[in-house]
Amino acid sequence: MSDQDWTDQQPIVSIKDVHKAFGTLEVLKGVSMDIMKGEVICIIGPSGSGKSTLIRCINALNDIQAGSITIEGQEVHDTKLDKLELRKKVGMVFQQYNLFPHKTALENVMMAPIKVLKQPRDEVEVRARALIKKVRLEGKEDSYPGELSGGQQQRVAIARSLAMDPDVMLFDEVTAALDPETVKEVLLTIKELAADGMTCILVTHEMGFAREVADHIYFTDRGVIVEHGPPETFFESASDPRTKEFLGQIL
């Protein structure tokens, strides 16, 4: 299936039997999932179960040993693939925000469209200001990351990814490093994004949030998907003992 043949009736992200090892340590042992356009997916599971590795493989920050990952029909781990084309489609937000500390909030948002996509500066600035407003940080345009709270930085990071106009957003434990009060504002931003129809894949420990926004929940443990389903059935009637044990510890 090539890029041109893809229609949004097919999965926007399709993961098939993915295997990934760091040296001899096998982290993903055959993971598969299909995600449709506009869906919100939450991946949960104990630490070390491979969730972060999986979403890092989706935008080729990690390579894979076997299997396939396609985005809009395009194989991600094709060696001939233009990485830029992939990264235009996939935005990623990290646990530690990873903003550029020497650039203001506005410059952080503007940098990639100007440098990578070569878009004209004034056009990008209009869009960047709108995005900063969208993540409720109006007035913080000229603040440096060091002057912002964790939650504010994380929202700048979300705006920075959105500035590349991606079709899929990946969130890697984006609230794990935040204070409880600021978690809410970041989750609200993600919820609004989801409501706008953005395809979102989240690795999260926020069970309440997962239950509220996710269309589908995947539970991973030791490199495999143990169980998955829509939130209602997943949380109410998990069948696998490992899922039950995990939910018992967390909830």
Partner 1 sequence: MIETIQDFFRTMADTYPKWNFIFFHEPAQWDRVVSGFFVTLQLSVACVILSVIIGIVGAWAQGSPSRTIRWIVQGYIQFFRNTPPLIQLLFFYFALGQFTPTVTGPDGWTEQPIISNVGWAIISLSFFAGAFNVEIFRSGIEAVPKSTLEAAESLGFTRAQTYTNITFPLALRVSLPALNNNLINLVKTTTQAIAIAVPELLYEMVSIWNDYASAQNAAMAVLFFTYIALVGVLAFGMNRWEAKLLVPGFGKARR
Contact set for partner 1, span 66-85 (CB under 8 A): 83-84
Is 126 a binding residue for partner 1 by CB under 8 A? The answer is: no
Q: Which is nearer to partner 1, 27 or 169 (CB)?
A: 169
Q: Which stretch binds partner 1 (CB under 8 A): 41-49, 133-141, 158-166, 225-233?
A: 158-166
How far is Cα 198 from Cα 221, in angstroms, rounded to an integer?
Answer: 27
Is 6 a binding residue for partner 1 by CB under 8 A? The answer is: no
Candidates 164, 176, 188, 224: give the one binding partner 1 (CB under 8 A). Answer: 164
Mask: binding to partner 1, 128-157, rule CB under 8 A, as x and -?
----------------xxxx---------x
Is 63 a binding residue for partner 1 by CB under 8 A? The answer is: no
How far is Cα 109 from Cα 104, in angstroms, rounded to an integer?
Answer: 9
Mask: binding to partner 1, 212-251, rule CB under 8 A, as x and -?
----------------------------------------
* 150-162 helix and 180-195 helix, angle to the nearest 10 degrees: 20
Q: Which is nearer to partner 1, 108 or 189 (CB)?
A: 108
Contact set for partner 1, span 179-218 (CB under 8 A): none
How far is Cα 173 from Cα 203, in angstroms, rounded to an integer?
Answer: 5
Please state, as a whole number, how many other Cβ atoms lie within 10 Å of the Cβ of residue 223: 22
Is 111 a binding residue for partner 1 by CB under 8 A? The answer is: yes
Candidates 45, 94, 219, 238: give the one binding partner 1 (CB under 8 A). Answer: 94
Is 8 a binding residue for partner 1 by CB under 8 A? The answer is: no
Q: Which is nearer to partner 1, 93 or 217 (CB)?
A: 93
Candidates 14, 53, 59, 204: give the one binding partner 1 (CB under 8 A). Answer: 59
Binding residues for partner 1 (CB under 8 A):
59, 61, 83-84, 87-88, 90-92, 94, 96, 98-102, 111-112, 115-117, 144-147, 157, 160-161, 164
